Structure 1
């Protein structure tokens, strides 16, 4: 059982007023807040251990390297990878997906091959594949999406053919909250000889992840959405695929031997980590994982389901409000109020201290499917409360009443 009031004391940013109202932070799909333990860990690194990693034998360098690699092991366990060789530090989900697209896709696709993604993808899992398709002559196709924002596995099965070489899919939609059956999709992809890429940016912070059970070939996520700092992310890849790939970036740190006209690469995972890494970010992500493990991902998922179910039912019941996506969802509610621009709704909510996101959420093709230009998104984490859901619902009603009278 989660003690949310005790948890909230660990997050100093939540204890403030915004526009003379106590802050209600509901923009967690964009970035999560950070507990004291993460903030202190990052501060302690800079105060005590600040040094480059892997390059020196002095005490500070040794300590920094130990903390940096300890965090990699924490990540490995958190997503149940086989080896730390499969855990590559990146700048975030976008960086990870670009590394896969350009490092694997460019080298393995040819004219007539097929990449299949969904219509609910974040631009980070769309634009790199557009670019790769354009450069290689491969074809970018989309799985059919049901009216409620879900995928039909029979239609997914029929869409994957012998020409399909890459299937890339978000595990949780950042707009609809849809939880896609990525394990089953991976199985279907593998039956046709394709590889599976999973965008875990919106799933890893909210539910248990086991990449071996999922049997995905690549899995990516960002630290800042799961209590960690910005600028740090993870690319998981099966070891045999990573070993066969050429690095996308070259330079210092990722080499074995360098001559005047050629070079050889370091072994995994350092082969893909050129230059000085975000050391403090990696160590901070390790501390974030410690915090999440201290609560338990099963407990986090169960608590957030209760929050999300209440939010969905409450907001859906408000006259004039359209909620997008399936009833069964993870961690967010995306909606519009008839006749009111999402930016105006967000501004009105902010006036009451409620932070939500308004816009296309880096999913413009999905907005076309939904037949709107933008939406309002309220997204939750385990430090949110039922009382905050009530405040959100009241804020929506207040905004609706205000703009109706203003018109």
Structure 2
């Protein structure tokens, strides 16, 4: 009995001591936690000075512009996203250049080419440009088929007895004459015998320079075709057996390719072509057609501009006068002041700014028929001069 009472008392005592121990331990642990916190080292205000890594807030990144950043700019920038403007094209684009530029191609300014210096400024101005000299390109001759070209359009053309004059003839030219060929074919369906069923030997990118630059068999050749075969002008004239060649001054594909003296070099290559044709066909008559001009929006290139074109036209007119050759002005009547009239150009605001439309070719038809009439009457005379034009100011 005594042993049982002792065991109960001992058990109560152990339980009591355990409860007291728990009550004392809990406050000590809380106090220890606070003490540990107060004794730990404070975080450094400068990142990187402590042994443990310190995270930098995102908003602490420097606001550095791309130009100031030492890191290279990302290369994954698309054309649309780039802040850089596109590279400007050359200021002297050839109208129909071949894919391989000639060796002499350069951005250097050309040497003076005319008595009146050509303005080199590319600034546009709509101020009227005075034409120093003008002449009446329609002579006052009784019976002339056309006494005015104003208002003439393709739809107003009819058959003419003077078209037969152009039988056994060939027109040689560049892309303007490719369009003229299409015009001619359309007119032939309506008026058989239109312009004497003349042969038109022409191709885009062609010029006197390109006639000699490649052989017709070369892969890069831009020679026109006669009966489906590429050939030089001199060979085409000989093979066809034509009696008269109407040779265009193909300056639009040539002036822009030269480093300097572009007018003189284009003149030289044209004369070289004349001589090459004459060498293979001594009896053929060669008639030179003036080079047409650029519209306002395209008359601002360094070499290819109306100042240089008019200088070249005058040089070729002088050559024709010295060698007893006919020179036909097919350009002055298409002008609006200092530039080719937009109404006669099929690409006045885009493209090349020089290709004639059907109304322009309708006026050409009138010019050719007047020429035929005057030749048959023995009254044709070359123009006294070609008007002087300039590059846009």
User: Quick check: TM above 0.5?
Assistant: no
| Structure with more of its chain in strand, by fraction | 1
Given the two structures, how large is their TM-score scaled by the length of structure 1? 0.29
Q: Which has the larger radius of gyration?
A: 2
TM-score (norm 2): 0.29
Q: Which is richer in helix?
A: 1
